[in-house]
Amino acid sequence: MSNLERRFCVMRAQRATQRLVRLKKSGQDEFDFEYGEDFAKHIEAFHPSFCKVLVRYNPGGNPDLNRRQAARLKRLSEYLHSSKSSRRFMFELLVPPEKSQLEQLQGDKKAYDLRLRPQLMAAAIAQLQDAGVEPDVWKIEGLDRQEDCEKIVATARRGGRRQVGCIILGRGEDDAKVREWLTTASAVPGFIGFAVGRTSFWDPLVDWRGKKITRDAAVAEIARRYQEFVEIFETHNKLAYV
């Protein structure tokens, strides 16, 4: 396990000492800075461990849109890796289908996730790297096949980027799907953690709000679910390094 992987194992438990600052302007699909030209001041004011962006980027999409986003992201990447900052760069990559891509699959979104999205994700990572965008951690939508996870890691780490890691996100899927994604990704060296939110807390919070369960019961259920996700990831991830 690399030094970066050891450092980022903390992400699996999401310790309170780790701070994350979101920089994307909300309410729009195109990436832009939430605080405009003051983005650097905002970063340093909060002293975060990670600066995180959420970016919708399809390599087969609008080329002008992709270039604009890449230019802004390169600027952020260069700042975070400069002597002015010591923050880690986390990049959440979403690759929504273009209309023409879905048409190729007769509108089948599950087929898109299985057959087309993995290769588009790898292409998006490569394009962004070539444009000068260099995350420390790629936050990746769940993948159904281990070979696709391996391809994503290989792309993220190409060209000597051996310290780059990937984490898998839950995307609000149901419990069974998240378990499947965690099992698949954790078996691949280079996947160093996960980010699962709604699947852990949504149903217990809805039940608590509806007065079906107590607050303590909701807390216990959220903790139980999250602990199970941790155990799934840790168990398979250890085997990946045997």
pLDDT in tens, 45-89: 888 889 999 999 999 999 999 999 999 999 999 999 998 888 899
Residue 4 pLDDT > 80, yes or no?
Answer: no
Spatial contact of 137 and 91, defined as CB atoms under 8 Å apart: yes
Q: Which residues of 95-118 are buried (b: 16+ CB within 10 A; e: fewer)?
A: bebbeebbeebeeeeeebbeebbb
Spatial contact of 93 and 139, defined as CB atoms under 8 Å apart: yes
Has residue 80 been placed in a domain?
A: yes
Instruction: Of 1-15, 197-211, 218-232, give the lowest mean pLDDT range.
Output: 1-15
Give me the chain's average pLDDT, please.
Answer: 88
Q: How far apart are CA 219 and CA 128, in angstroms?
A: 39
Host domain of residue 40: 3-198
Has residue 206 been placed in a domain?
A: no
pLDDT at 26: 59
Has residue 241 been placed in a domain?
A: no
**161 vs 14, more confident:** 161
pLDDT tens, 89-143? Answer: 999 999 999 999 999 999 999 999 999 999 999 999 999 999 999 999 999 999 9
Spatial contact of 234 and 12, defined as CB atoms under 8 Å apart: yes
Has residue 237 been placed in a domain?
A: no
Q: How many domains does the chain divide into?
A: 1
**40 vs 2, more confident:** 40
Radius of gyration of the chain, Cα coordinates, nearest whole angstrom: 18
Residue 11 pLDDT > 50, yes or no?
Answer: no
Spatial contact of 171 and 145, defined as CB atoms under 8 Å apart: no
Compute how many other C-beta atoms are within 10 angstroms of the C-beta atom of residue 238. 11
pLDDT at 19: 54
pLDDT tens, 180-194? Answer: 999 999 999 999 999
Has residue 43 been placed in a domain?
A: yes
- Tokens representing 146? 């281990």
**Which burial class, exposed, middle or buried, applies to 144 when counting CB atoms under 10 A from its CB (0-12, 13-18, 19+)?**
middle
Has residue 203 been placed in a domain?
A: no
Has residue 54 been placed in a domain?
A: yes
Has residue 48 been placed in a domain?
A: yes
Q: How far apart are CA 35 and CA 166, in angstroms?
A: 27
> What's 131's domain CATH number?
3.20.20.70
pLDDT at 3: 39
